[in-house]
Structure 1
Amino acid sequence: MSLVVYMASILLALAAVLLRRPRRTPRSPLSNATRATAFIAATCFFWSAPVTLAAVNHATGIPNVGAPLTYSSISALSCSLIILLIHWRGGPEERIRRMTRMTVAVYGTLIVAIVLLFSLADAHTERLTDLDTYYANTPYMREMISLYLVGHLASTVVLSAVCLKWARDEVTGLLRVGLRLILAGLLLDALGFTLAKVTAVVARWLGYDLDVLSTTVAPPAAALGALIYSTGFVLPRLASAAAAERQSLATYRALTPLWSAVKDVVTAPPVAEPTWWQPWWQMPSSRLYLLEANIHDALLQLTAHFDQRVGHAAYAAAVERGERQEQARFASEREMIIDGIRRASGKGDGPADPPEKFRVTIGLVELAHAVNRLREAAPAQARIQ
């Protein structure tokens, strides 16, 4: 059973890593909540594995101390799922903060109660797989087990109700797929884990033995259910992140001609040029960030080769063509930068007349397209380096 649980933990931890925020992306409460939920779920399954429970009990010298640790992590997961759904639905920030604080307060109190009840209980016989049913009639342990099951069931009911209500709205695409996965995972969790555990515990209260539901049915159902509903939460986020990375890769490729044109005519080395081993593991957004930093640094070094007379002439020509002021300014920058690259490579005519102040406002992609068109149109011996 530990292998199944560890596999679920690894997959959820991998999802948390894949959902990392790109370096230049502003912090998002939804992204943070999604990653936190995946991480807490991974931690929850890690602590619940019998091998981990035995190691924790042995390391602390306290029999069954892994139980409140596992039950607390399950409660924390229930709390994080509700908070994630709160952020996923959105709404006024004050309402989101108020509901988040309320959820944390409820489940925080539940976790404190679980720890307190365990400390009061008499549970000196170590049970790694059937603790719920073995101690179902033990004072304080009985209440602790009931509390964590009720807390988990409550979160499942709340999440299911909200998702069902939301699914009736006009939801399409990956969001609809995500909702269906969440509902499927919650249903499996409710029937395969919570109901199985509750049935086994209640059977013990009534003098029957249905421990197989708790020890054999519940753990794999919980792992599979968590993977399914976590996929439902994560899928839309991963899809949007993948789209952003694809755009970053396209922009990176579009900027390559510009970088090829400027990297050999500047005197200082790149600020952070990727080494040979980085491209295969770096995300496109990180590689794009470094490339843009290198290009901006190179353009700053080329300022001494810019000729403002070329810029003025390009601006006047653009205005005469009827272009707007902003477009005329971009044309001025573009021609001045291209002329500066020529001069830096020894192909310019006469001394440059650099402007006193210069700031790049034109888009780098537009500039790269202009450089690429020039390189393709010019004879091979006159191409920009």
Structure 2
Amino acid sequence: MSGGTAFICSAGGLLVATLIKLWDLRKNPKDPILRAVCGTLFLGALIFVTAAPPHLAKINSWLGTPNIAAPIVYCILTAFDGINIVLLIHWRGNDNEARTRRQTRLCLTAYVVVMAAIALLFALGDAPVERLRDLDTYYATTPFIREMIVLYLAAHTVAAVTMTALCWRWSRQVPGSLRIGLLTIATGSSFAFVFDLLKYTAVVARWLGGNLDWLSTHAAFSLAGFAAPLVAAGFLIPPIGQGASSRWGMFQQFQQLKPLWLEIQSEIPRTRPKPMSWWRPMDLRLMQRERDIHDAVLRLGPYFDASTGRRVYAEALAEHAERRRARGEADASVIAGAVIAKAAARPAVNPEDRWTLTSTEDAEDLVRLSDALARSPRVQEIRRSAALTGSHT
């Protein structure tokens, strides 16, 4: 794959990611982190679009100035570095919001000044011969152009070192997808730092009368295709990972509530909508299942027998001494008995003798209640006893 094609593929991937995050931004336009992520992705894509050699030539031709594409690319790269640091500042968070704003302003101001200086130095310099791949070494000794090259490399190095150090240190303090994201950013920033070292070496070699241009035109050029996508991917991994983890957690809860949902299914009104299809969002499916359970439990309430609940609670507590688990088994046994009692058209329990469920008030307790319906031997015994009572009446 040619360098230009590789750059365009990288740009395409980053643009797709930008569009996805812009859709999220549409729903939450005031989120500073989301805005910074969109900026990071877009600038990363713009770097690859403008830095591809065929596009450099087109920019030079369109603007009618040899090599003017170079300061444009350097300014975009500098903006990318600055917004990455800003994103990391907001991502890291700070108890002092004023300090976060101050750090953001300082960072943005510094990188805007660098961008202005890059443009000024190019205007003051003289670069009449178009160089699409080796401008940094070809003009390494040209007044003002030389300073422009060193300035953009210095700004890029500061960003690379800062982000690598911060991300490595922070990654030791956090788990999961956030840690993976930070390590990915640190890896991309490390590639960026090596890119700078190769560029510095080639430029200094020119200053000393040598020629190590291949370090800049080939080795560094190859590394450039890894650094920006890795940094951008690192910022995407945590929200994607957290979203996937959240959906997986909801799916597990949805499945864990199935025994309870099946137990009380006869009490779900026929007028209620049918269960949503598997392709519908998991949060909506879980919400529907929980709503069906709560509604059915209310309909079964008049048949909750307090004597059954107290007996099972005492037995379970004596066995494993876990109050919440024992309460879950007691509630499960009461529900199991109520379903059978209502189906057999038995009279409702007197209000003063009714059991009050508490395991439906918390998601974790609701799962524990469902598990007890599926696994507890005491609940199974209540089912058998209630069924036998029904058969003798």
Cα deviation, residue 310, structure 1: 0.9
- Tell me if the contact between 1:9 and 1:42 (Cα under 8 Å) persists in the aligned partners: yes
- Tell me if the contact between 2:134 and 2:213 (Cα under 8 Å) persists in the aligned partners: yes
- CA deviation digits over 1:86-118, x for unaligned, max 9? 467665444444333322232233345445666
Structure 2 counterpart of 1:283? none
Partner amino acid, structure 2, of 1:349: R
Structure 2 counterpart of 1:257? 259
Return closer, same or farther for 1:361/1:224 CA change in 2, 3 Å cut-off: same
- CA deviation digits over 1:130-163, x for unaligned, max 9? 4545666778765544432221022223345556
Cα deviation, residue 298, structure 1: 1.4
CA distance in 2 between counterparts of 1:139 and 1:269 reads: 78
Calculate the aligned-residue CA RMSD, in Å.
Answer: 5.5
Cα deviation, residue 229, structure 1: 6.2
- Tell me if the contact between 1:312 and 1:332 (Cα under 8 Å) persists in the aligned partners: no
Structure 1 counterpart of 2:106? 102
Cα deviation, residue 294, structure 1: 0.9
Trace 1:356-375 onto structure 2 (pairs within 5 A).
360-363=360-363, 364-373=366-375
Trace 1:279-298 onto structure 2 (pairs within 5 A).
286-287=281-282, 289-298=283-292
Is the radius of gyration larger for structure 1 or structure 2?
A: 2
Count matched residues: 359
Return closer, same or farther for 1:252/1:211 CA change in 2, 3 Å cut-off: same
Return closer, same or farther for 1:350/1:72 CA change in 2, 3 Å cut-off: farther
- CA deviation digits over 1:325-373, x for unaligned, max 9? 97787667655655676688x5553469999x99940433123213434
CA distance in 1 between counterparts of 2:125 and 2:374 reads: 75
Query: Matched residue of 1:266: which SS?
Result: coil
Deviates more, 1:85-94 or 1:152-161: 85-94
Return closer, same or farther for 1:339/1:108 CA change in 2, 3 Å cut-off: farther
Trace 1:155-304 onto structure 2 (pairs within 5 A).
155-160=159-164, 166=169, 185-191=188-194, 193-201=195-203, 211-226=213-228, 246-261=248-263, 265-270=268-273, 273-275=276-278, 278=279, 286-287=281-282, 289-302=283-296
Cα deviation, residue 195, structure 1: 3.0
CA distance in 2 between counterparts of 1:54 and 1:326 reads: 71
TM-score w.r.t. the length of structure 1 is 0.63
- CA deviation digits over 1:270-289, x for unaligned, max 9? 488235xx27xxxxxx52x2
Larger fraction in helix: 2
TM-score w.r.t. the length of structure 2 is 0.62
CA distance in 2 between counterparts of 1:337 and 1:245 reads: 29
Query: Matched residue of 2:346: which SS?
Result: coil
Q: Which runs of 5+ in 1 are unaligned?
A: 22-26, 280-285
| Match 1:48 to one of 48, 51, 71 | 51
Cα deviation, residue 263, structure 1: 5.8
- Tell me if the contact between 1:302 and 1:340 (Cα under 8 Å) persists in the aligned partners: no
Return closer, same or farther for 1:68/1:90 CA change in 2, 3 Å cut-off: same
Partner amino acid, structure 1, of 2:290: H
| Match 1:349 to one of 346, 351, 376 | 346
Query: Matched residue of 1:4: which SS?
Result: helix
Structure 2 counterpart of 1:306? 300
Structure 2 counterpart of 1:149? 153
Cα deviation, residue 311, structure 1: 6.0
CA distance in 1 between counterparts of 2:213 and 2:203 reads: 8
Partner amino acid, structure 1, of 2:225: A
Cα deviation, residue 292, structure 1: 1.8
- CA deviation digits over 1:236-260, x for unaligned, max 9? 8877776655544433332333444
CA distance in 2 between counterparts of 1:338 and 1:116 reads: 80
Return closer, same or farther for 1:177/1:256 CA change in 2, 3 Å cut-off: closer
Structure 1 counterpart of 2:27? none
Structure 2 counterpart of 1:24? none
Structure 1 counterpart of 2:73? 70
Partner amino acid, structure 1, of 2:346: D
Structure 1 counterpart of 2:390? none
Percent identical among aligned pairs is 31
- Tell me if the contact between 2:304 and 2:349 (Cα under 8 Å) persists in the aligned partners: no
Partner amino acid, structure 2, of 1:82: I
Cα deviation, residue 215, structure 1: 2.8
- CA deviation digits over 1:309-331, x for unaligned, max 9? 51655565577667899778766
Partner amino acid, structure 2, of 1:294: Q
Is 1:129 aligned to 2:133, yes or no? yes
